[in-house]
Chain A
Amino acid sequence: MTTGVAIVGAAESDLGSTGRSILGLQTQAVTRALADAGLTLADVDGIATTGVGRFSATQLADHLGVVPTWTDSTFAGGSAFEMFVARATQAIRDGQCTTVVISFASNQRSARSRRLGGVFEPWVPEAQFEEPYDPLYPASYYAMATQAYLHRYGGTREQLAEVAVAAREWALLNPAAFRHEAGPITAADVIDAPMVSSPLTVADCCLVTDGGGAVVLTSLERARDLRRTPVEVLGYGERTTNTSFTTVDDLAVPGAVGAAADALGRAGITVADVDVLEVYDSFTITAALSIEGLGFCGRGEVLDFIADGRSRPGGSLPLNTNGGGLSYCHPGQYGVLLLVEAVRQLRGECGPRQVPGAEVAVAHGTGGILSTHATVVLGAAR
């Protein structure tokens, strides 16, 4: 099935430790993605972004000198960009706009703006009932989900470490990856790294880097006349499950289950049709729960499922082929870079890390503390 909307441009901003401002990086991402599409800012009438400030899309539009007919600044953490694809697709189909840029950038490494306890908003219930106990936000939530999962299904930390080991293998093939030159790692390296919030060590946690990216969407009909192979939006789905540490009854079952079922159903495909999978790996457990939640294996099976190395380069389930948030780049809301890599894989532009013959990709974002879950199914329209 098709939605009649396609991604026609994709790009990263500078990554790593840039010394640049948020809007400077945003501008890089947007202008590079437009250049990739063969379009200009004059073509843009829709903007979706977060992380600039309280009025993110408004601020970016102003900064770029654009007066959009459609904007979206849905703040849902790292999955917002997969949600934006759904919203943008609907807006383009509805005729409210013709050409949407979805973008994000952060300078959190240069600016040292990341806090282990998260952002304090004294008026929300969590400030009264949760933050007084000093959980790390979001690390302690993912740690507790890991503990619950391993207890329930009997897996080991060594097995979970495979997510980080595989991510590093991919990063070694990607010159843009923060850990490109860092060499391979073993499961022992991961579990012996300094503990952050047990059972997660620093090597189970994503990088803290600057970076950003952008994708450009327009109608598939118009996309056929542009310079790149169109990447069709085939399906999308989302779930929003919680903002509290205590809302979700069973931490081992993420909202990915429903989001993916909707997205795959809308696209009319099954997981067997997916050639390349880009999932948010804020932590090793995030990726593991996503693979399982998306339906690539049965409940409780993911650690055995990936144990054979199938998610590494050359394996049958190419996962996070840029090196992921764990070894490539993690600017705080990584979801836009899932889309950028999925698009590049479907276009066949990925050099040594290219998945041969990739025709269908899934990008799955997770935001907050397993709070928001959004899946996008993309297909090459050659």
Chain B
Amino acid sequence: MSWIPGEVPPADEMTADWWDATREHRLTVQACTACGHLQHPPRALCTGCGDTDHLVQQAASGAGTVDTYTVVHRPPRKDVETPYVVARVRLAEGPILLTRLSSEPAIGDAVTVGWVDLPDGRALPIFQPKETR
């Protein structure tokens, strides 16, 4: 994917653990150890039970399916090559991520995570068809 991401805002206290894991190309989802709820993006509160004290980042398998997608033909900023695929990927664990796909999929296709490194050492998860891995 010939794509140079724009500037990504820095992590905050809610999202630091998620971003730190991306430095090692590890995809995580936030888990509430009080009720078992999983969520993304990371928050200071579990939207399942309201707990604020039992939230941890937990490893995700990196496997998911394409929930829906679009091929973008007009660039929202300078220096973005079009067309490109933006998609919602439903992780095997349940939470949905907005992401890019390496090629145009069909809804329901199995995909796996890949990474695009950012200049500051963090990385953005993107997804690709499962069979190319």
- Which residue numbers of A lie inside 8 Å of B, CB to CB? 115-118, 122-123, 125, 127-137, 140, 143-145, 147-148, 151, 194-200, 244-246, 249, 251
Report the bound CA distance from A324 to B72 in whole Å: 25
8 additional A-B pairs beyond A148-B68, A246-B40, beta carbons within 8 Å, are: A129-B15, A129-B98, A134-B84, A144-B69, A147-B68, A196-B74, A197-B72, A199-B70
> What number of B residues sit within 8 Å (CB to CB) of A?
35
Complex contacts, A115 vs chain B, CB 8 Å: 76
| A130 close to B98 (CB less than 8 A) | yes
| A134 close to B75 (CB less than 8 A) | yes
| A116 close to B75 (CB less than 8 A) | yes
Complex contacts, B99 vs chain A, CB 8 Å: 133
B15, B74, B124: the one contacting A136 at CB < 8 Å is B74
B9, B73, B76, B87: the one contacting A117 at CB < 8 Å is B76
| A197 close to B8 (CB less than 8 A) | no
Tell me whether B6 is interfacial, beta carbon within 8 Å: yes
Pairs across A and B, CB under 8 Å, 26 listed: A116-B75, A116-B76, A123-B12, A128-B19, A129-B40, A129-B41, A130-B98, A132-B8, A133-B124, A133-B126, A136-B74, A144-B70, A144-B86, A144-B88, A147-B69, A151-B107, A197-B70, A197-B73, A198-B70, A244-B98, A246-B40, A246-B88, A246-B96, A246-B97, A246-B98, A249-B96
| A134 close to B77 (CB less than 8 A) | yes
With both beta carbons as reference points, the residue of chain B lying nearest to A117 in the complex is identified as B76
Report the bound CA distance from A103 to B6 in whole Å: 37
Shortest Cβ gap from B36 to chain A (Å): 18
Tell me whether B67 is interfacial, beta carbon within 8 Å: yes
Tell me whether B80 is interfacial, beta carbon within 8 Å: yes
Report the bound CA distance from A72 to B80 in whole Å: 39
| A128 close to B8 (CB less than 8 A) | yes
Shortest Cβ gap from B2 to chain A (Å): 13
Q: Which 7 A-B pairs have CB atoms at the shortest separation, nearest pair first?
A: A117-B76, A143-B70, A148-B68, A198-B71, A246-B96, A122-B9, A144-B68
Complex contacts, B68 vs chain A, CB 8 Å: 144-145, 147-148, 151, 251
| A134 close to B72 (CB less than 8 A) | yes
Interface residues in B24-82 by Cβ distance below 8 A to A read 40-41, 67-77, 80
